[in-house]
Amino acid sequence: MAASFFDVDGTLVRTNLLHPTVFYLANQNNPLASLGALARAAAGGPRMALAEMLDRRRFNELLFAAYAGMSNDRLRLLADEAFDSVLKRAIYPGAKDLVTRCRDQGHQVVFVSGALDFLMDKLVAHFGATGHISNRLEIKDNYATGKLLRPIVAGPEKARLVREWAKAHGEDLGECFAYSDSYSDVPLLSVVGHPCVVNPDLRLSKLARTYDWPVIHLGKRPAFAELLERIP
């Protein structure tokens, strides 16, 4: 048996963590509250951009602070709509075929994502995957505090969590597969025996070529991919 670990944003769906967050902010109890939430998030934009460049974990913390004050009931109530409006329509063509093929091979399919657990539940159900390793909001008295519960799923931490998951489920990582589009997931790709790069940017493409990792394009193949492929 083996497992296939999939990063989600940019790998299976073309959206990133911002898109569902904006959806939630724009769907507050009333339009005024939505406007305020969006304005606060926009004001924090520069800090988030800086954090994205320096520390992916810190970026997640800043982003999910925008959920502070939302009720747990509302978060889950809106999950269906957020999935249908934001995630489902952003799924790359061919993504479902790829996941299905992994399932057909008897793989356990685990989504490893910095996105929030209640959204990942929907995505896992849609793809027929086994489960997910994702971020969870801290909830106190039925309201989100804006903090994330530890461990925060991002960057190198993904690799550690996958190792733990494999150990707990008796999987030999040498037999497992991992799929990601992001250079920040190189640790995740490096812990499995069969790493695969999906929709990579130029930096990750070059690394994949160096290590002879398979490269697949579920979205539109960028022009640099054609050029790189012709270089011996």
Partner 1 sequence: MSGSGSGSGSSMTSYPPPGLPPPSAPPPSGSSELAPRARTRGSHPLVVTLDKKSAPRAVFSGDQLVEVDLPAGTRVIYPRPPLDALKDVDAAIRYALNHPMGSDPLHAKLRPGMKVVIAIDDISLPLPPMRRPDVRERVLTVVLEMLADHGVEDVEMIIATSIHRRMTADEVRHVVGDRIFKAYWPDRLYNHDAEDPKGMKLVGTTDHGEVVSLNRKAVESDLLVYVNLNLVPMDGGHKSVAVGLCGYESLRAHHNPHVMRNCHSYMDPTTSALATSVERMGRLVEKALDVFHIETTVNNRMFDRPLEFLHKNEDDWTGTERASFKALSFTLSKLPQGARQAIFQKVPSPYGVTGVFAGECDAVHERALDRCYAQYAVPVQGQADIVVAGIPYISPYNVNSFLNPLLVQVMAQGYLFNLYRGAPLVRKGGTMIVFHPCTDQFDKEHHAPYIEFVHDVLPQTRDAMVMHTQFEEKFARNPAYVEMYRKGHAYHPAHPFYMWYWGEAGRQHLGRVIVVGADNDYVPKLLGYETARTFREALMMASDGKRDPEITMMHVPPICMADVTL
- Nearer of residues 46 and 232 to partner 1, judged by Cβ: 232
Output the smallest distance, CB 127 to partner 1, in A: 13
Output the smallest distance, CB 4 to partner 1, in A: 7
Q: Measured between alpha carbons, how far is 114 from 57 in angstroms, rounded to an integer?
A: 9
How far is Cα of residue 193 from the mean position of the Cα atoms in its chain? Answer: 21
The secondary structure of the chain in percent helix, strand, coil, rounded to multiples of 5, reads 55, 20, 30
- Nearer of residues 148 and 196 to partner 1, judged by Cβ: 196
Contacts with partner 1, residue ranges (CB under 8 A): 4, 94, 97-98, 100-102, 105, 107, 177, 179, 194, 196, 209, 212, 214-218, 229, 232
Type and span of the H or E element at 183: none
Contact 197, 168 (CB under 8 A): no
How far is Cα of residue 49 from the mean position of the Cα atoms in its chain? Answer: 18
Q: Measured between alpha carbons, how far is 217 from 147 in angstroms, rounded to an integer?
A: 35
Output the smallest distance, CB 93 to partner 1, in A: 9
Q: Measured between alpha carbons, how far is 16 from 101 in angstroms, rounded to an integer?
A: 24
Q: Say which residues have a Cβ less than 8 Å from residue 190's Cβ, sequence separation at least 6.
A: 159
In this structure, the number of other CB atoms found within 10 A of the CB of residue 84 comes to: 12
Output the smallest distance, CB 134 to partner 1, in A: 22
- Nearer of residues 14 and 57 to partner 1, judged by Cβ: 14
Output the smallest distance, CB 16 to partner 1, in A: 22
- Nearer of residues 2 and 154 to partner 1, judged by Cβ: 2
- Nearer of residues 135 and 180 to partner 1, judged by Cβ: 180
